[in-house]
Amino acid sequence: MADNETTDTTELREETAAESPEVAEHDRAAKLEAELADAKQQVLYAQAEVQNVRRRAEKDAADARTYAATAFARDVLSVADNLSRGLQAIPAELRGDEKMKGLVTGLEATGRELESVFARHGITKIAAMGETLDPNKHQAMLEVPSDKPAGTIVQEMQAGYMIKDRLLRPALVGVAKKGE
């Protein structure tokens, strides 16, 4: 019975469409409008995707410019560490000696210039001493009995550095632990 009804409805439409060209034209116009709306929607999606790709590419390019020196900066940090250790190793009596004064002054000036270069390129030293341990910036190497609150940094073995807002190298630190 359902087959008969479907056939009857189809025949009725065909008869109506044959008798009334306006109905056929209306159906055709509605179909074209639906296709047009679908095409417009697809164009909007494509434009949004292109805009997203462009933004992503611009961000990637900006990040590449900002963080391009990361590997080089990590390598130069060891030079800064060695220079700092060398300056700390010079005894006070040699600092006052006229023969060594020029050498000490030159090494200190080199250290200041290196810090200035770091600052120009967005490389900053991470504060550690007296701070609370932050695993995003500090790497705890040992626990030290202390009267400070647990988790407070009481010893810095190696300075940590950031480049802009990213970690370049964590600070190697000793952390206070509760006394027994």
Give the pLDDT of residue 164. Answer: 87
Dist. CA 79–CA 87, nearest whole Å: 12
d(CA 177, CA 153) in angstroms, rounded, equals 10
User: How many whole angstroms separate alpha carbon 138 and alpha carbon 170?
Assistant: 5
Is residue 107 within 8 Å of residue 87, measured between CB atoms?
yes
pLDDT of residue 52: 95
Q: What pTM was computed for the model? A: 0.63
Reading the chain (180 residues) residue by residue, the pLDDT tens digits are 545 555 555 555 555 545 566 777 888 888 999 999 999 999 999 999 999 999 999 998 988 887 888 888 888 999 999 999 888 888 888 888 888 888 888 999 999 999 999 999 889 999 899 899 999 999 999 998 888 888 899 999 999 999 988 999 999 999 998 765
Spatial distance between the Cα atoms of 105 and 79, rounded to a whole number of angstroms: 18
